[in-house]
Amino acid sequence: MHPAPSVIIFTTFSGLGFGLLAWLGFGIPDVGGTTLFAFFFIAYALAVGGLLSSTLHLANKKNALYAFSQWRTSWLSREGVAAVVTLLLFGLIALARIFLGAEMTFSGAVGSILALITIFTTSMIYTQLKTISRWNQPLTPVLFMLHAIGGGALLAGEAKIAGVLLAALAVVMWLHWQQGDARAANRGTLGDATGLGHLGEVRMFESGHTGGNYVLDEMVYRVGRKHAQKLRMIALGLGAVLPAAILLLTPAGHVTAFIALALHVVGTLVGRWLFFAEAEHVVGLYYGK
């Protein structure tokens, strides 16, 4: 799949934002006033920024409002609805907590669950696609959730929790790749895709077009295997292993937390790029890819 920057930024940063909101809803960290304002500001900036970035991916923004209409069937619509509801609710919670000093325990918990749901819906946009077997696995939502709440914990200053979650993330990332590789390997052959397998080994003789098209640009993008391996190590190292190690093995501190966060964000961006770039869409078979 084409690793579109808008979507990479969207999933990375709105994930972090909603991850942070999920912690804030549960009252973690236990802060108030301007500090809390700062946390909420960061969370909103990330979540809203990410969402806005996602709209850059839309070729026809003028109809964007309709995207909230199909929540009963569409994960993308659900994501939109969940994000908006979550953000609206957290708006009230934030106002109440920052300015009224209210506890908002119950609604905070509701908000957190909604934030988690939002992250889940985001992940399901990709997980649901049977056409991309690498994504179509139970670990995909787990991967997204761990990214979000791990990164969120890091943002929330919960170093040890974040360390544990990012360590878990490291494991899930690795497993997701293993599973993904296995699934991609079983994606089928051109013989399966064309239904001509009974005639022998099928190969593409001529594509339907030597010129480009949307399908090729969007869905038949693939990163080289060697390159991908390198990037996997970078994503795993920077996104999970190193920050987890720093958080768990070094004394807590703003500097280490910031380093861990920076590494995590860079690692996540690389990982997300790879998430798309490595994903083999089944339509590639028809192009002999």
Partner 1 sequence: MMSKPENIQIDTSPPVSDEVRKTTCYMCACRCGINVHMKDGKVAYIEGNRDHPVNKGVLCGKGSSGIMQHYAPSRLRAPLKRVGPRGSGEFEEISWDEALEMAVGWMGPLRNEDPSKLAFFTGRDQSQSFTSWFAQSYGTPNYAAHGGFCSVNMAAAGIYTMGGAFWEFGQPDWDRTKLFMLFGVAEDHDSNPIKIGLGKLKERGARVIGVNPIRSGYNAIADEWVGITPGTDGLFILALVHELFRAGQVDLNYLSRYTNAGFIVNEEPNTAETGLFLRGNTGKPQVICRATGKLADYDTPGVMPDLAATYRHAGQSHRPVFQLMAERYLSDEYAPEAVADRTGISADKIRSIAAELARVAFEEEIVLDQPWTDWKGEKHDKMIGRPVSFHAMRGISAHSNGFQTCRALHVLQILLGSVEVPGGFRFKPPYPKPVEAHPVPHVGVTPGQPLNGPHLGFVRGPEHLALKEDGSAARIDKAFTWENPMSSHGLMHMVISNAHAGDPYKIDTLFLYMANMAWNSSMNSSEVMRMLTDKDENGDYVIPHIIYSDAYSSEMVAYADLILPDTTYLERHDCISLLDRPICEADGAADAIRWPVVEPDRDVRGFQTVLIQLGVKMGLPGFVNEDGSAKYEDYADYIVNHERRPGVGPLAGWRGEDGNGKGRGEPNPAQLDKYIENGGFWVNHVPENASFYKPWNKHYQEWAVKRGIFDVESPYVFSLYVEPMRKFQLAAEGFGDRQPPDNLRDRIGHTMDPLPIWYEPFEEGNVDTDEYPIHALTQRPMHMYHSWGTQNAWLRQITGKNYLYLPTKIWEEHGFEDGDFATVSSVHGQITVPVAHHAGLNGSTIWTWNAIGKRKGAWALDEDAPEATDGFLLNHLISELQPPKGDGLRWSNSDPITGQAAWFDLRVKIERCETKPAESQPAYPPIKSPVGKGPKTVARKI
Partner 2 sequence: MTALPEKTDKKLGLVIDLDTCVGCHGCVTACKGWNTQNYGAPLSDQDAYGADPSGTFLNRVFSYEAEKTGCASQTVHMPRSCLHCEDAPCVTVCPTGASYKREEDGIVLVNEDRCIGCGLCAWSCPYGARELDREAGVMKKCTLCVDRIYNENLPEEDRVPACVRTCPSGARHFGDLGDPDSDVSKLVADRGGFDLMPDLGTKPVNKYLPPRPKDQLDTAPLNIVADEPKGFLGWLDKALDKL
- Asked whether 168 and 150 are in contact (CB, 8 A), the reply is yes
Q: Please say whether the beta carbons of 11 and 44 come within 8 A.
A: no
Q: Please give the residues from 69 up to 108 whose contact with partner 2 meets the rule CB under 8 A.
A: 69-70, 72-77, 80
* Contact partner at residue 231 from partner 2, partner 1, none, CB < 5 to 8 Å by partner kind: none
Q: Does 191 bind partner 2 (CB under 8 A)?
A: yes
| Site for partner 2 contains 117 (CB under 8 A) | no
How far is the C-alpha of 287 from the C-alpha of 164, rounded, in Å? Answer: 43
Using the minimum distance from each CB to partner 2, give the nearer residue, 210 or 254.
210
- Greatest extent of the chain over all pairs of C-alpha atoms, in Å: 74
First to last CA, the chain: 12
CB of 213 to partner 1, least distance (A): 8
CB atoms within 10 A of CB 176: 22
Q: Which does 225 bind (CB under 5 to 8 A by kind): partner 2, partner 1, none?
A: none
Nearer to partner 1, 195 or 211 (CB): 211
Name the residue nearer to partner 2 (CB basis): 63 or 249. 63
Q: Residue 200 region, left (φ>0) first, then alpha (ψ -120 to 50), else beta?
A: left
Please give the DSSP secondary-structure letter assigned to residue 98: H
Q: In the complex, what is the shortest distance from the CB of residue 116 to partner 2, in angstroms, rounded to a whole number?
A: 20
Q: Which residue has the tokens 């093995």?
A: 249
For partner 1, the closer CB: 103 or 218: 218
Name the site residues for partner 2 (rule: CB under 8 A).
Answer: 1, 57-61, 63-64, 66-70, 72-77, 80, 125, 128-132, 188, 190-209, 211-215, 217-219, 281-283, 286
